[in-house]
Amino acid sequence: MEVLGLYNYFVFAVLLMVGLYCILARTNIIKSLIGLTIFQAAVFLLYISMDKIDGGTAPIILEGVDDQIFANPLPQVLILTAIVVGISTTALALAVTVRIKEAYGTIEEDKIQEMDRET
């Protein structure tokens, strides 16, 4: 049981690995960006895993209901922020990608590098 309680962290680690590998090993820009979103999503998982408390519920305090255990609200707030930051980065990166495609005619980084070397 104890190890199962750490499963979230393992998945967090594996997702980080997959994301980073995707960023580093792929030369296709869109693929790298998808890797980047996985990489960021892994961190969301780390934070949200921290907020869970046994027998708890979402931190919405209803009147008349006593002795309820509430999940930790702070990591949730942080991740709300981080999700929005993530989509902003993605949107900007995609806009750059579209412009790269228009300027170079390809979105493969290795080809772009070759083209730049020629000029």
Partner 1 sequence: MITIVFSLFLLTMLVIVAVAILRTDNLFTAVMLSGIFSLIMAANFFILDAADVALTEAVIGAGISTVLFLSALALTAEYDRSPPVGTWVPLLTSSALGGVIIFATFQAPRLGDPNAIVHKHVAPWYLERTPELIDVPNVVTAVLASFRGYDTLGEVFVVFIACIGVMSLLGRVRPRRDSIEEGEFEKRSDNLRHHLIPRVVGKMLVPFIVLFGLYVQFHGDFGPGGGFQAGALIAAGVILYALVEGGPRGRELVPEWFSSMLVALGALTYTAVGVVSMMRGGRFLDYSALSHDPIHGQHMGILIIEAGVGMTVAGVMITIFHAFSRRGIR
Partner 2 sequence: MTLYDQLPALVVAVLLFTAPIAYMLRLHGFPWFVATAGVVTSFAVACSLAATVIGGETIIYEMGGWPAPYGIVLSIDALSALMAMLITGASSAALIFGYKSLADEVGEEIAPAFFAAWLLCTAGLVGMVVSGDAFNIFVFMEISSLSTYVLISAGPDRRALISTYRYIVMGTVGATFYLIGVGFLYMVTGTLNTADLAARVGQVEDIRLVLVAAGFVSVGLAVKAAIFPLHSWMPNAYTFAPNAVTVFIAAASTKVSLYVLMRVDYAIFQNSIANHDVQLTFFLVPLGVLALFSGSMLAIYEKNLKRLLAYSSVAQIGYIALGISMTSVAGLTGAIVHMFNHGLIKGGMFMAVACLAIRYRTVNVANLAGAGRAMPWTMAAFVIGGLGLIGVPLTPGFISKWYLVLAALNEGWLGALLVAIILFSSLLAVIYVWKVIEVAYFREPRSNAVPVTEEAPLVMLIPTWIVVLAGVWIALDTGMTVGLASVGAKILLGAAL
Which residues 38-57 are close enough to bind partner 1 by CB under 8 A?
38, 41, 44-45, 48-54, 56-57
In one letter, which amino acid is 33?
A: L
Site for partner 2 in 71-90 (CB under 8 A): 74-75, 78, 81-82, 85, 88-89
Helices 7-25 & 29-51 angle (0-180, nearest 10) = 160
Task: Give which of partner 2, partner 1, none residue 104 binds (C-beta under 5 to 8 Å, depending on kind).
Answer: partner 2
Rounded Cα gap, residues 36 and 12, in angstroms: 14
Assess 115 for contact with partner 1 (CB under 8 A): no
Q: Please, are residues 47 and 82 in contact by the beta-carbon 8 Å criterion?
A: yes
Picking from 32, 48, 36, 51, the residue whose alpha carbon sits closest to that of residue 85 is: 36
Residues of the shown chain interacting with partner 2 in the complex, contacts defined by CB under 8 A:
16, 20, 23, 29, 32, 36, 39-40, 43, 46-47, 50, 74-75, 78, 81-82, 85, 88-89, 92-93, 96-97, 99-100, 103-104, 109, 112, 116
